[in-house]
Amino acid sequence: MSDISPLVKRSLVDQALDQLRQRINQGVWVVGQRLPTEPELSAELGISRNTVREAMRVLAFSGLIEIRQGDGSYLRGLVDPLDTLKVLSQCSLEHARETRHILEVEAIGLAALRRTEEDLVALREALGVSGSHYHGDLDTYIACDLVFHRRLVDAAHNPTLSELYRYFSSVVGEQLRHCLNVTPRRQAVFDLHIELLDAVEQRDPERAKALSRQLINEP
């Protein structure tokens, strides 16, 4: 019996999640609205309060709802970030390149126009750290390089672009892992980063965008 119960319980929670997500997708609740209480949801869905509570915890963990102690649960968003991450994890290299051209290139063009002196200090620091790892451990370099690229996008001073890029950076990391898994790594590829930073520093958006495209298209 003990071997079966967890499976049954998980199945009930999954069913509850499906029903709750369906209501969210159908617009039954709007962002910021206080959701029905656990007893109300239990009666509406025809499931136990414990199952409802566990399903609500899953939704809170994924960022769809916010549980306020002593106040209730509120809808935070209409898209489940975990679903987004699942889709991104299945992204092909070609789709990753296309998306980077749309998102990253344009963001870097804006960064060249809007960057501040504080941005440049942070970018120089990140590039220096990533450069010291370029010919070393690949995972370490990729982690450092993503910091540089995120700071480039942040220099556009558009919070929406920054947030989108943070979601997408895991896909960028996989593309880098595919492109840079060679020995020795070509120094010319890293040197493009130096030129890119110079273009941003010189407030040259067209040159910055051209260099960004060149980096993204590296085989």
Tens digit of each residue's pLDDT (9 = 90 or more) over 76-101: 877 666 666 666 667 788 888 898 89
The number of helices, as runs of H, and strands, as runs of E, in the chain is 11, 2
Structure tokens at 150: 């995120």
Domain positions in the chain: 5-78, 91-216
- Residue 5 clears pLDDT 60, i.e. is over it: no
Return the CATH architecture of domain 5-78.
Orthogonal Bundle (1.10)
The reported pLDDT for the residue numbered 1 is: 41
Highest mean pLDDT among 6-10, 70-74, 164-168, 209-213: 209-213
What is the fold of 91-216? Four Helix Bundle (Hemerythrin (Met), subunit A) (1.20.120)
Collapsed DSSP state (helix, strand, coil) of residue 3: coil
The reported pLDDT for the residue numbered 6 is: 41
Q: Give Cα 170 to chain centroid, integer Å.
A: 7
Count CB-CB contacts under 10 A for residue 183.
Answer: 7
| pLDDT, mean of residues 102-127 | 96
pTM assigned to the model = 0.65
Q: Rounded to the nearest 5°, which phi and psi values hold at 30?
A: -105, 155
Structure tokens at 163: 């947030």
pLDDT band with cut points at 50, 70 and 90 for residue 174? confident
